[in-house]
Chain A
Amino acid sequence: MDEPHTDIEPVSDPGWYRIRIQGRLDQRWSTWFDGMSLSQGEDGTTVMRGRVGDQAALHGLIERVRDLGLTLLEVTHEAPDTPAEPRT
């Protein structure tokens, strides 16, 4: 596992992604998903947010979504200025 991404990203950082899945997945899965932050929406979906190292890492995350049998709803590239709280 990579270490969690703790750095505050520069504005131009291209590596922030948002992955939305069906169902409620609690924060305990954060480590499994390489330290992405998880937030549960009102609509019964979960949004994972975080920085991914590169495309291969992104595909790795999506593979892990698949391996848990979760339904993938969307993957979006976050605009760099989207507020995404830095985590420790």
Chain B
Amino acid sequence: MSHPLIETKLFLPSPRPGLVPRPRLRERLDRGLAAKLMLVSAPAGFGKSTLLVDWLASAALRPGAGVLKAAWLALDPADNDPSRFWRYVVAALRNAVPDIGEDALALLQDSQPPPVELALTTLLNELAAAEADTVLVLDDYHVIDSPAVHEGMAFLLAHLPARLHLVLATRSDPPLPLSRLRARGDLVEVRAVDLRFTGEEASSYLNGVMGLGLEPDDVHALEGRTEGWIAALQLAALSMTGREDVSGFIAGFTGDDRYVVDYLVEEVLQRLPGNVQDFLLRTSVLDRMSGSLCNAVTGQEGGRAVLEALERDNLFVIPMDDRRVWYRYHHLFADVLRGRLLDEQPGLVPQLHQLAAGWHEEEGDVEEAIGHYLIGTDFARAGELMERVIPALRRDRREATLRGWLESLPTEALRVRPVLSNALAGARMSTGVFDGVEELLDATESSIASVGGRPSSLLFVDEEEYGRLPADIAVHRAGLALVRGDVEQTVTHARRALDLVGDDDPLTRGAALALTGLAAFSTGDLDTAHASYTACIVEFETIDHVSDVLGCSVTVGDIEVVQGRPRAAARTYRSALDLADRHATPVLRGRADMHVGLAARHLEADDLAAARQQLSRSRDLGEPAGLPQDAYRWRVVMAGVREAEGDVDAAVDLLDEAERLYVADFQPLVRPVPAVRARTWARQGHVDLALDWADRARVTLEDPLSFLREFEHVTLARVLLAQQGRRPGSVDVAAVVTFLDRLLRAATHGHRGGSVIEIEVSRALAFQQLGDQGKALAALDAALALAEPEGHARAFVDEGTPMAVLLTAAERRAPSAYVARLRSALAGTGRTAPGPATTGPHPGALVDPLSSRERDVLRLLDTELNGPEIARELVVSLNTVRTHTKNLYMKLGVTSRRAAVLRGKELDLL
């Protein structure tokens, strides 16, 4: 995390001494612990935060109640960036429950937009295991207007663990499903009507806490005039303290109908020395202030002493840390002061912000400085600072913040800084906004072009960054074309980017290569796609973008499979895993996908045990280790395993799930799940279900061919041949052969060896149905020739009896070890063979799953190594190995090394 958190946002204020006790509200909040959400919703100055601070402190002391931990977060408008918002939420929770949230933080930085739901899921799982009740308070939630943040909150609320309690303090009701929560009793509310001081409370405050000794009538009059508004009563009390003519003040105040806070602030200010008045007005522009910052803004010394005096005199100054460094004004008080400042010295406001900006800049807090420069309308300075922090913000996936800043710059400020206008185009695209991007890119490009090599009228911070603009713009254009589905333009711009990019910019080069590869892949130009992605992986490796390497490896593997090179695909996955192992980040998205890829290769080679083992490893890594498509891919491969094991129902269920879980991205969908399922139906003789698929998917023998529909087309041929097998004479097999011939030419032409094997197998079966044994065997020979070096098995084994007949004929003609192996695999396919795996427990079945360390130990128990050797291997002490061994014996329910290994194998842990 490169950007430091502002600690004052996480500071849980301590309860102020001398509060009016409010047992009725405390009790209501206590009840809220049984609900999902506590909503404290009332205007400024109603004592929302005070109530919560008091309640948390009292709850901690209450006898009998369990420990209640508090996580406090004061929100500000910058938290509308989801990445920043959730990072602070995690930080707040870590104050209450240390050691959680590592994975969530890593995930928030993983990609743009950040995978918030995934990050929250890991966080909530950790919290569900926490032993104490935790209250998460989000103060000032009304500053949030980002739909993305609200959506994340709704998700959080829907998945809230029982021991996490959510409190929102806000001036406006949040756009969450409040009425539903209310109806289910999941919402406890404290609203303005509850927070107003009653007559009794007003009296207890004015006479008890403040010791003003007022008559009941006076108290009543003040309560009536302020309507129990606490901030107003506080201001009134402040105005009366030490005043001779208290009744005169009350008469004047209650007889006036001016805006109550305005009236009272004026009363209070009038009684202060001129320099303090001036201090208050000038510093009112600050959302948080230290003595030194106040000095910068007022041009005076002694800021710290003034702040301390203001706090002593109860002048609405609230400490924001334990050391009395940072303070803020009560929001309502600050707003009224700002209103006065704006009225009296409007010209001063921008100046004050510029002074504050300068101070923050000097302190190294560039983000705060930018905020003040923007309000202070010093756009030149703001722009320059933005340019400096762009790389850091991108690294933190905070494009939303960047976009917000850049969009608040006037057009002219953007025009002279091409790095910024290009960055805005990128920030918009990565936050899902494509409007105006093309115009921005045009403008950026033409401003660079207009100045030629001498950009004297343009400004930039970093010469190299400026030099990279042309290539970067081309990458943005390629991305934009891809979003629009314009493959040709994608390729054109990506190629241009590759021509322009320098050797010193692997990120841009990698992005351009990936875009080229993607475009080529979607048109079926596999050679180009493969070359581009392979080169792209090299670029990303040099800059340690491991997650991107894993993502590209998924695609490279897909391409290699279509090319008919499963062994190469397995190598791709393995080398990506090696790379991942060298980077010890908490979670690395994509690692799980590599195991799924390996599982698919084992499945194809008919090694079901190995396939299962890889699937288990993928699952053990947990959801966060998977890219968005991992969930669906895992199920497709597992479905293949179950079908091969003979459990067709389970396979179909898995495919149904896979279909639901599929998330589209820009990658071409080579094997649509419904077609995969139709093949299963066809193989199992459910011809009508399979034909139903063809209807729905609108696949016919007359279709024009394209790479993207190839899998569906081959599926259609399979379905029709299955139909013919069931109901001889119902299908025009010759037409199917013609169709397969067309497919074969296209696949051969496109160097898609994997497709060629499938098509040749289908042709062999079709010729067999036509009674043309010679052509059938020729087609089979062609398939076998391609398949043998790569160890394909299921492409043949899946075809059952007709294939067994053909293979027998083939072997009789030319004996081969490979064909013999296929035949024996086929002979074994009434397979219920892998006993415990089909019916018995799988890894999830352990009540208490093995930890990853325990699994490491278990694997080494399955070797010749003795105890000390295992300890050395794992770089731990012998005692630690003994502890792990004891624990894993217990979990597996065994008492010996041999039994542990056997049981581990049964459970697919080995």
Residues of chain A having any CB pair with chain B under 8 Å: 1, 23-26, 28-32, 44, 66-70
User: Could you say which residues of chain B place their CB within 8 Å of the CB of A67?
Assistant: 44, 171, 331-332, 335
**Taking the complex as formed, is B665 at the interface, i.e. its CB lies under 8 A from any CB of chain A?**
no
User: Are B44 and A68 closer than 8 Å at their CB atoms?
Assistant: yes
- Which residues on the B side are within 8 Å of A31 (C-beta)? 339, 342-343, 346
Contact at B340–A28, with CB atoms within 8 Å?
yes
Please measure, in the bound complex, the distance between the C-alpha atom of A26 and the C-alpha atom of B349, giving whole angstroms: 21
List 4 A-B pairs, minimum CB-CB distance, nearest first: A69-B43, A28-B343, A32-B339, A31-B342
A31 to B43 alpha-carbon distance, docked (Å): 22
Residues on B lying within 8 angstroms of A by beta carbon are: 43-46, 142, 171-172, 229, 231, 256-262, 331-332, 335-336, 338-340, 342-343, 346, 349
11 chain-A/chain-B pairs, Cβ below 8 angstroms: A24-B257, A25-B258, A25-B259, A28-B339, A66-B142, A68-B339, A69-B46, A69-B229, A69-B261, A69-B332, A70-B259
- Given A66-B43, A69-B45, A29:B343 Cβ within 8 A: yes
Q: Is the CB of B261 within 8 A of A68?
A: yes
Residue of chain B at shortest CB distance from A29: B339
Contact B340 A24 (CB under 8 A): no
Contacting pair B346 A68 (CB below 8 A): no
User: Complex: how many Å from CA A29 to CA B229?
Assistant: 21
**How far apart are the CA atoms of A67 and B46 in the complex, in Å?**
12
Q: Which residue of B256, B258, B335, B343 contacts A68 across the interface (Cβ within 8 Å)?
A: B335
Q: Which residues of chain B come closer than 8 Å to A1, judged between CB atoms?
A: 342, 346, 349
**Distance in angstroms between the alpha carbons of A25 and B257 in the assembled complex:** 9
Q: Which of A44, A68, A70 has the most CB of B within 10 A?
A: A68
Set of chain B residues within 8 Å of A26, measured between Cβ atoms: 258-259, 262
CB < 8 Å neighbour of A69 from B142, B231, B339, B349: B231
Q: What is the distance, in angstroms, from B344's C-beta to the closest C-beta of chain A? A: 8
B157 to chain A, nearest CB (A): 24
CA distance A44 to B257 in the complex (A): 7
The smallest beta-carbon distance between A57 and chain B, in angstroms, is 14
Contacts of B349 in A (CB 8 A): 1
Cα(A70)–Cα(B43), bound, Å: 8
- Residues of chain B within 8 A (CB-CB) of A23 are 257-260
> Are A66 and B171 CB-contacts (below 8 A) given A23-B257, A26-B258, A32-B339?
yes
Q: From A26, which residue of chain B is reached at the shortest CB distance?
A: B258
Inter-chain residue pair count (beta carbon < 8 A): 59
> Is the beta-carbon distance between A68 and B171 smaller than 8 angstroms?
no
Looking at the assembled complex, report how far the CB atom of A13 sits from the nearest CB atom of chain B, in whole angstroms: 24
Residues in A with CB closer than 8 Å to B339 are: 28-29, 31-32, 68
User: Within the assembled complex, what's the spacing in Å between the Cα atoms of A65 and B340?
Assistant: 15
Scoring B172, B256, B259, B346 by chain A CB atoms within 10 A of each residue's CB, the highest score goes to: B259
Residues of B within 8 A of A66 (CB): 43, 142, 171-172
With both beta carbons as reference points, the residue of chain B lying nearest to A46 in the complex is identified as B259
Nearest residue (CB) in A for B256 is: A24
When distances are taken between beta carbons in the complex, the residues of chain B under 8 Å from A28 are 339-340, 343
**Considering the chains assembled together, what is the distance between the CA atoms of A24 and B225 in angstroms?**
13
A23 to B260, CA, bound (A): 8
Question: Measured between C-beta atoms, what is the minimum distance from A30 to chain B in Å?
Answer: 8
- New contact pairs (6) apart from A26-B259, A66-B172, A69-B45, CB-CB < 8 Å: A23-B260, A29-B339, A44-B257, A67-B171, A68-B261, A69-B43
Q: Which residue of B lies closest to A44 (CB)?
A: B257
A23 to B43, CA, bound (A): 16
* A66 vs B170: C-alpha distance when bound (angstroms): 11
Whether the pair B171, A24 counts as a contact (CB closer than 8 A) is no
Q: How far is the CA of A23 from the CA of B226 in the complex (A)?
A: 11
- Find the B residue at minimum CB distance from A21: B259
Q: Which of A24, A32, A69, A70 contacts B343 (CB 8 A)?
A: A32
Residues of B within 8 A of A44 (CB): 257
User: What distance in Å separates the Cβ of A17 from its nearest Cβ neighbour in chain B?
Assistant: 20
Chain A residue nearest in CB terms to B227: A71
Given contacts A66-B171, A69-B43, contact A24 B259 (CB under 8 A): yes
Task: Give the residue name and chain of the A residue nearest to B260 (CB).
Answer: A23
Distance to closest chain B CB from A71 (angstroms):
9
Complex Cα spacing A68 to B335, Å = 7
Contact partners of B43 in chain A: CB under 8 A:
66, 69
In angstroms, Cα B43 to Cα A45, docked, is 19
A68 in contact with B257 (CB, 8 Å): no
- The distance in angstroms between the C-alpha atoms of A24 and B258, with both chains bound, is 4
A25 (CB) vs chain B CBs: closest residue? B259
Interfacial chain A residues near B338, Cβ < 8 Å = 32
Measured between beta carbons, the chain B residues less than 8 angstroms from A69 are: 43-46, 229, 231, 261, 332
**CA separation between A55 and B342, bound complex, in Å?**
24
C-alpha spacing A66/B140, complex, angstroms: 13
Residue of B nearest to A32 (CB): B339
Q: Is the CB of A68 within 8 A of B172?
A: no
Per the bound structure, the CA–CA distance linking A29 and B346 in Å amounts to 12
Contacts of B229 in A (CB 8 A): 69
Cβ of A64 to closest chain B Cβ, rounded Å: 8
**Complex CA distance for A67 and B261, rounded to whole angstroms:** 12
Give A23's nearest chain B residue, CB to CB.
B259
A32 to B336, CA, bound (A): 10
Complex CA gap A47/B340 in Å reads: 19
**Closest CB-CB distance, B277 to chain A, in whole Å?**
16
For B335, list chain A residues within 8 Å (CB): 67-68
Query: How far is it, in angstroms, between the C-alpha of A30 and the C-alpha of B335 when the chains are bound?
Result: 14
- In whole angstroms, how far apart are the Cα atoms of A26 and B257 in the complex? 11
A37–B346 Cα distance when bound, in Å, is 17
In the assembly, what is the distance between CA of A32 and CA of B683, in Å? 74
Q: Looking across the interface, which residue of chain B has its beta carbon closest to that of A65?
A: B43
Q: How far is the CB of A1 from chain B (nearest CB, A)?
A: 8
Bound form: Cα–Cα A1–B353 in Å? 13
CA distance in complex: A67, B337 (Å): 13
